[in-house]
Amino acid sequence: MTENLSMAKAINLGLQRALADDPKVLLMGEDIGTLGGVFRVTEGLKKEFGENRVLDTPLAESGIVGTAIGLAMRGYRPVCEIQFEGFVFPAFDQIVTQLAKQTTRHQGTQSFPVVIRIPYGGHIGAVEHHQESPEAYFAHTAGLRVISPATPNDGFHMIQQAITSNDPVIFLEPKARYWPKGDVDMSNAAAPMHQSRVVRTGTDITLVGHGAMVAMMLDAAEVAQSEGVSIEVVDLRSLSPIDYDPIIASVQKTGRLVVCQEAPGNASVGSEIASTVAEHAFYYLNAPVLRVSGFDVPFPPANLEGLYLPDVDRILDAVDRARGY
């Protein structure tokens, strides 16, 4: 069965299915119950499953994640919502020094199946701390799995995969993609959670990115096609671990790579991809690996976001530079 859904609704249905399938699944977060969350991703779930399964918490991110760690130790599968990505840092200590390390501390005898949902990224005209892309912090931290869907179909399936994982998962939800609709296959199994995927084939250059940047890269590929340039687009889907096989295979075919992200470029996921491709596919490259990213400054006021965030023009400029070598 296929339905045309927004990503927000698709994740909602994925959470609903996970709650129905396993009584040990709990949702926790600020305003997620009665209100249904700022973005209404959890709308209706408290009414269906009750306040003991969908918990409105105090405004205390460290307390939310700390409580989730304790619940996981008692056999539950808590799913925490951080209201906006800029509010995750009060919980940063709990995530990177406690949650990420606990399985190793217990020598693998104890699992910590905690999912932390984080709406992230720009393009919504919001203020500081509401449009940032902090994924590199978590991808750098050993012991965490980090994933980000780019489509409603992946949102529906990947949230369920994250919940059934026995490892802690940072689930990054691109806010700019909450509302556009797409087909969601409700019946058939999805691709594995950490598998990169070629979403458009091409021969001249490869674009790689995740989250909201996937739609941007596809738009850029359409424009380039009208100018006679064939672009292949790879959706990362997972930021830790990264599935490099489709990326390397694509670069071996096209000889050129541009990595796209909203986050600042310094010490980023894009940096890691550029380095790894240069290491493993150097002799296939006809040009340096280029990056298109946010700038290395704090996220600006909303009326300047268009100058800060990558867009189709900046991607196409990088494509032109790569083809000029």
What is the 3 state secondary structure string of 187-252? CCCCCCCCCCEEEECCCCEEEEECCCHHHHHHHHHHHHHHCCCCEEEEECCEEECCCCHHHHHHHH
Residues 153, 158: Cα–Cα separation, whole Å: 8
State how far Cα 18 lies from the chain centre: 19
Token pair in block for residue 260: 């796209």
Residue 255 domain-assigned (yes or no): yes
pLDDT at 285: 98
Residue 192 domain-assigned (yes or no): no
Task: Indicate which CATH number applies to the domain containing 241.
Answer: 3.40.50.920
Answer yes or no: do 224 and 171 share one domain.
Answer: no
What 3-state DSSP class applies to 76?
coil
Percent of the chain predicted with pLDDT > 70: 100
265-307 pLDDT per residue, tens: 999 999 999 999 999 999 999 999 999 999 999 999 989 999 9
| The pairing of beta strand 197-200 with beta strand 231-235 | antiparallel
Residues 217, 40: Cα–Cα separation, whole Å: 27
pLDDT at 264: 96
Residue 100 domain-assigned (yes or no): yes
Which of 185, 205, 224 finishes a domain? 185
What 3-state DSSP class applies to 199?
strand
pLDDT at 156: 98
Token pair in block for residue 297: 């400054």
Catalytic residue among 106, 123, 129, 130: 130
Q: Identify any residues that bridge with 27 across adjacent strands, giving them in sequence order.
A: 54, 79
Cα maximum dimension of the chain: 60
Radius of gyration of the chain (CA): 19
Answer yes or no: do 149 and 285 share one domain.
Answer: no
7-41 pLDDT per residue, tens: 999 999 999 999 999 999 999 999 999 999 999 99
Token pair in block for residue 128: 């500081």
Determine the structural domain holding residue 201 and report its residue range.
197-323
Residue 190 domain-assigned (yes or no): no
- 149: number of Cβ within 10 Å: 29
* CB-based burial label for 174 (10 Å; 0-12, 13-18, 19+): buried
Token pair in block for residue 278: 């240069």
The model's pTM = 0.96
Answer yes or no: do 203 and 179 share one domain.
Answer: no
Q: Identify any residues that bridge with 56 across adjacent strands, giving them in sequence order.
A: 29
Q: What tens-digit pLDDT sequence spans the chain (325 residues)?
A: 899 999 999 999 999 999 999 999 999 999 999 999 999 999 999 999 999 999 999 999 999 999 999 999 999 999 999 999 999 999 999 999 999 999 999 998 999 999 999 999 998 888 788 989 999 999 999 999 999 999 999 999 999 999 999 999 999 999 999 999 999 999 887 899 999 999 999 999 999 999 999 999 999 999 999 999 999 999 999 999 999 999 999 999 999 999 999 999 999 999 999 999 999 999 999 999 999 999 999 999 989 999 999 999 999 999 999 999 8
Residue 191 domain-assigned (yes or no): no
CA-based angle 39:168:40, to the nearest 5?
10
The closest alpha carbon to 256, from 238, 231, 221, belongs to 231
Answer yes or no: do 220 and 312 share one domain.
Answer: yes
Answer yes or no: do 106 and 214 share one domain.
Answer: no
129 is catalytic: no
